[in-house]
Each structure stands twice: as structure tokens, then as C-alpha cells.
Homo-oligomer: A and B are copies of this chain.
Amino acid sequence: MPADPLSSALLPAGLHDVLPPEAAHEAAAVERLLADFTAHGYQRVKPPLVEFEDNLLSGSGAAMAKQTFRLMDPLSQRMMAVRADITPQIARIATTRLKNESRPLRLCYSGQVLRVKGSQLRPERQFTQVGVELIGPLEAEADAEVILLAAHALEGVGVQHLSVDLCVPTMVPLVCRGLGLAEEEMARLRAALDRKDAAAVAAVGGPAAALLQTLMTASGPAERAMQVLASLPLPEEAEKDRRRLTDALRLLRAARPDLVITVDLVEHRGFEYQTGLSFTLFARDVRGELGAGGRYRAGGRAGEEEQGEPATGFTLYMDTLLRAVPAPAAKKRVYVPHGTSWAAAGKLRAEGWVTVVGLAPAADPAEEARRLGCGHRLADGAVTALE
């Protein structure tokens, strides 16, 4: 939505009215995504906008604590929080109310989230989140399923030139630990890797320097990155991550040899609560991420996340996504003059028209039709196009 001065005077920063035709466009895309998730066996759930703060911000939800609005509940006298992310709610549902359902448990959702502050890249404070969670399975097949589903659903709503960027945010820490680096060294190294600063990595990397420089430079197209990774003398601790990446890529390639897949071996930002294979979804020429996802543990208590159930999933951000989706063709509007029978207008709707009924006689029906945004009008029982 382009910001206009009137809107910004009326609404708090980062909050917007979505107007015609964008609101219909968004709703249609959301429902098509959900229909695709449903066809893949994911069942829809709808958690509330607000929960008790200590539930919503425990476990994987803790990452959003600073971004979350609080409300006092006058009934319970306890603090509530307005969700800033839906994923922790789905994890809660899976591990409490649906804990006795068969695994793998496949759930999907859409809804609004609210954040205290926007970022520079994304000033919005309210988003539509749409996503899936696959709870229970440890297998690489689960990682492949959610990535393939994300790609299928995005392409289904018209996203072109999609690319999937795989990463394993746990790999660098495991490599460093395996090579005996101290926590302090790891933090400096982390900062250097985030800057993609090869010289700094060499300077502070100690015994891990050479390995991490190779991981950094090998990032790029999946097959090349995996070739480099395969030949590296990784410490035993990081072996599981390498194997998972290899297995998942093999499954992805078997299903979708055409999909553009890149691998970033040193990325971790935005994946703070991810516990394994993760991914980001992009469309060429579209600014920002369409969505992201990956491995986590569902339902672990704070500090004991590893006791949670294995899970993976993804969230799509509708604001970015809609920039990558062509607007649907507007349905044709026909002006139905005052006095036309209810049944006659209904017949036009049944034929696929949007009817715009005149509520009073019009001196010039063609002009009135035009004024109301109709390209056609009903006259003498027939639909005619306006000149």
C-alpha cells in the first residue's frame, strides 16, 4: 500500500488500511495457499489473537518478547500478550490439546500478528502470517516435504522465479565447539561471519579459520556448495548437519530437479530458535523474504527446548508475497437499473457477473453505470458493453 498523508495522520505508524482491490487480492491468495496446504493433509487451526503472556512467550515464543504488546486481563488479573508470531501458538496446540493425535501431525493456519516496532526493511507492525507446521517426524523426508510444499503453494498463487535458500544455523557452532573454540572466540567469529568478512574470520577463527572460510566461500548454488562441503574434514559434531543437508537436497532434487536451490553454510540470523535444517524463500526481483522456516522443538519449556517434539514448518509473509503475485483479473461489473427484479439480478450473478444495482432511477443509465465503475449495463433484458 502506498502511504498517503491522510492515512498516516489517521493511523499509527506501520498500520494500514488495505483498500480495494488489494484486500480481495490478499484474501484470495491466502485461501489458495491454505487450500494447497489442506490438499497436502495439513489441517487448519485458529488460535486466539491474545494469550496469557507466560504461555505465549515461553519456549520458542521467547524470541519475540520485546516485539510483543501486553494487555492486562481484567477477568484473571493476569498479563496477556497479543501474538507477534503464530508458530509458538501452533506448537502449543500440537503439544497440549492435540498431544494425543497421531504423529506426524500436520497443521496449517493464517492470521494477523502485531508487533511493537517495525524494522527498517519492514516498517509494518501488523502482518498476515500463513503457514504450516509438521510435528513429530525426525526424518529428512519431513524437511523435504515442507520445502516442497512451500514451493508448490507459492508457485500455485503465481510466484515466479522462486528460489529456496537452505541453511543449517547449528553447523557453525558445532564446528567451532568441535574444534575447541571458547564461547568468546565464537562470538567474535559469529560477527565476522555475519559481515562475510574473510580477513576477520582468518584473524579470529583460530583452528576453525580455514574451515569456516571455506564454508563461507562455498555458499551459493546447492550442488556446488554440497560438493565443497562433502570434501571438508568436519568435526564429528557437525556430521549430523552435513548428512541432513545432503539427504534433504537429494529428496528435493528427486522431486523438483528444476527448483532453484542455494545453500548458505554460515547463515544464522533470523533462525535463533531453529535447531537444524532451515530455509528462506525468495522470488527474483522481489525485495525481502517471501517466507522462512525450518527445524525446531515444539513444546519444550524455557531452557529445556530440547525435550520438545521434533518439528519443522514455515511461515509466509503476505506483504512481501503479494508483491510477487500478479493481481487477479477483476470480475466484470454490470449496472442493473433501478426497478429490475431481484430474480433478474440473481440470474446475472449466477452467470458470473458482479451486479451493481441502481437504488434510484438514473436519468442517463449509461453514464450512471460508468460512474459506478461498471463496464456493462443491463438494458431491455440484455447486458451491453459501454462504449
Contacts and interface: CB of A to CB of B under 8 A. Distances in A.
A195 interface: no
A80 B354 CA distance: 37
A112 interface: yes
Interface in A34-76: 34, 38-41, 43-52, 55, 69, 71, 73-76
Interface size class of A (residues with CB under 8 A): 35 or more
A90 to B, nearest CB: 10
Interface string A333-373: 10000100111001001000111110110000000000111
A96 interface: yes
Most buried by B among A44, A109, A356: A44
Given A12-B51, A51-B11, A145-B357, A44 B73 contact: no
A265 interface: no
A175 interface: no
Contacts of A242: none
B112 A49 contact: yes
Interface stretch (A14-22, A198-206, A226-234, A276-284): A14-22
A50 B12 contact: yes
A17 B76 contact: no
Contacts of A342: 148, 254-256
Nearest to A348: B39
B23 A45 contact: yes
Contacts of A343: 255
A10 B49 contact: no
Interface stretch (A135-143, A161-169, A185-193): A135-143
B75 A46 contact: no
Contacts of A152: 346
Nearest to A69: B71
A27 interface: yes
Interface stretch (A97-105, A213-221, A288-296, A376-384): A97-105
Contacts of A52: 10-12
Contact of A354 (B38, B97, B357, B360): B38
22 contacts: A6-B96, A12-B51, A12-B76, A12-B78, A15-B48, A15-B50, A17-B89, A19-B45, A20-B44, A24-B38, A24-B43, A26-B46, A27-B34, A39-B331, A48-B126, A50-B114, A71-B82, A74-B116, A112-B112, A141-B338, A141-B359, A148-B342
Given A12-B75, A21-B43, A39-B355, 11 more contacts: A4-B97, A10-B96, A12-B50, A15-B50, A18-B47, A23-B43, A26-B46, A38-B354, A71-B82, A102-B371, A145-B359
Interface of A: 4, 6-7, 10-21, 23-24, 26-27, 31, 34, 38-41, 43-52, 55, 69, 71, 73-76, 78, 80, 82, 89, 92-93, 96-98, 102, 104, 106-107, 109-112, 114, 116-117, 126, 137, 139, 141-142, 145, 148, 152, 254-256, 331, 333, 338, 341-343, 346, 349, 353-357, 359-360, 371-373
